[in-house]
Amino acid sequence: MEKRLSDAAMEGDIQSLQDLLQEDPLILHRSMVSCVSETPLHVSSMLGHVNFVQELLNLNPELASELDFHSCSALHLAAAKGLLEIVKELVRVDPGMCMVRNQDGKTPLHLAAIKGRVKVLRELVRARPESAQVVTERDETALHLCVGSNRLLGLKSLVEEIGKDDDVLVNEKDCDGNTVLHIAVAKKQIEIIKFLLTVPGLDINAINKHGFTVLDTLTQSPRDLRDMEIECILRDAGVLSAKDLQIITPEWVLTPTKVPQITRSLVSYVSAEESNSRKPIKTHKHTDWLGRKRSALMVVASLIATVAFQAAITPPGGVWQADETVDGNGNPLEHPRKAGTAVMAYSQDIEYGQFMIFNTLAFLASLSIILLLVSGLPIKKRRWMWIQMIIMWVAITAQVITYFISLRHMSPESAAGMLRDVTEISVLAWLCLMGVVFIGNVVRMNLWVLRKYGFIKEKEQKPSAQVDNDQEDV
């Protein structure tokens, strides 16, 4: 009869269930105490038989509280599969099952968050609002699980249900001290980051157990092309690094007649430090400037290296697809052609040599920058950064020359005159631009040398103006 009951649950056959009850009225109670892992309610809930689930709950509501060998209730299974109608029936009979954790330490709400079951999430929170505060064994809330599984819609639905009444939940930390914003930044989830920054009450400068804010988390994570966009989003929202938070001093509101002498001394010390705050700000801005330059150089160098490598293996005109030792008339070729060699090398050997020289120069210059940036050498001073930028100019210029050589090779003779005019104008404009950049940097370097050795005296400026001036130093 247990086999027949299991078959009826799998098929959702209510008539077979009623026939079994006529034969044995206690069969549902027996299924609760048998050695079988899953009850008929587990099976029918997992398979989505709504009518069968309703019939079982009407006959024996205690089935809703039964757990299988993995400590999962029928509500766990229905929530994980997103079966909204069955979830409604189960929480109607026993809403307390929303708080029960399975063998992995997860509640039905946690499983729905991981799977992104938006409607189920709303139903569970409405049925038992305090279930949103239950955490996993790693102290993760349902919000952490939504972000960890990249479930933006599920995250939005949870915040709409609980965020208005509980601002603390969006700032909850897991076992590593990470908030949901830490996790979103670490996983480079741009859309989730944008949404979280709009949530009222979110602590954007929370610090985890490693002493990192979300901005520090971005810096420590593996670099990719999304980092610059994420950094701009965070800075625009007012996110600070841990170093930024340490240099912020609180405002003192004191009554001079009632302040002890030791407190007055402390306030005097703080005031003196604030009046002499140029150096810390300068150091921070200096480091920030170098960091932005390093990131920009890494991205540009990677792109140039990729383009140069691709140009080397697929030169203009392509490569010969097969070996050729004779011409169309059967006569032996003076220079036999081998499969995989460049067509341009046979037809225009001088231009091909120029193409490869400048392409190799761009490739090696960009790789040199990448090697310097990832080498770990102490090259964090401005002069080293400018040397790398000069190498970058060389790489970009070589890439431009490579482009014009390729363009001339691929253009027909009928377009030679127009191409020559375009090339001359483009090269002239490029040389003018390079000249302006070179002259500007020479002037900046000379001014820096003159200021450094006292030939030019700097005017007294406000700290903010001083910061801007520091940014212009070479």
Q: Report how far residue 471's alpha carbon sits from residue 288's, in angstroms, rounded to the nearest whole number.
A: 10
Per DSSP (E only), the strands in 365-437 are none
Q: Helix crossing, 118-127 with 108-115: angle to 10°?
A: 160
Q: What are phi and psi of 349, to 5 degrees?
A: -70, -35
Q: Which helix (H) or strand (E) holds 326?
A: strand 324-326
**What is the chain's pLDDT, residue by residue, as a tens digit (474 residues)?**
778 888 888 888 888 888 888 888 888 887 777 766 788 899 999 999 999 999 899 888 888 988 988 899 999 999 999 999 999 999 999 999 999 999 999 999 999 999 999 999 999 999 998 899 899 999 999 999 999 999 999 999 989 888 655 567 888 999 999 999 999 999 999 999 999 998 888 888 999 998 899 998 988 888 888 888 898 999 888 888 888 877 554 443 334 444 444 334 444 444 444 444 444 434 444 445 556 667 777 888 888 888 888 888 878 777 777 777 766 666 777 667 777 788 777 777 787 888 888 888 888 888 888 887 777 666 556 667 777 778 887 888 888 888 877 777 777 666 666 666 777 787 778 778 878 877 887 787 778 777 777 776 655 444 444 444 444 443
Rounded Cα distance between 276 and 148, Å, is 44
Give the pLDDT of residue 472.
Answer: 41
Dihedral of alpha carbons 148, 154, 156, 157, sign: negative
CATH number for 173-246 (one of 1.25.40.20, 1.10.3720.10, 3.40.50.300, 3.10.129.10): it is 1.25.40.20
Tell me which residue of 377, 363, 364, 317 sits closest to 342, measured CA to CA. Answer: 317
How many CB atoms lie under 10 A from the CB of residue 89? Answer: 21
95 close to 127: Cβ distance less than 8 angstroms: yes
With the CA atoms of 89, 91, 94 and 98 taken in that order, what torsion angle do they form, in degrees rounded to the nearest 10? 150
Question: What pLDDT was estimated at residue 273?
Answer: 46
Beta-ladder partners of 324: 337
Alpha helices by DSSP H, 253-277: 261-275
Q: Two tokens at 374?
A: 């990832």
State the DSSP H helix or E strand holding residue 335, giving kind and residue range, or none if neither.
strand 332-337
DSSP secondary structure code for residue 143 in this structure: H
Kindly state the tokens that stand for 441: 């940097």
Specify the pTM: 0.53
Where on the phi/psi map is residue 252: left (φ > 0), alpha (ψ -120 to 50), or beta? Answer: beta
End-to-end CA distance of the chain: 87
So what's the pLDDT on residue 167? Answer: 65
CATH 1.25.40.20 range(s) for the chain read 173-246
Contacts 24+ apart (CB under 8 A), 225-233: 225/299, 226/188, 226/190, 227/188, 227/295, 228/295, 228/296, 228/299, 229/190, 230/185, 230/188, 230/190, 230/193, 233/190, 233/193, 233/194, 233/197
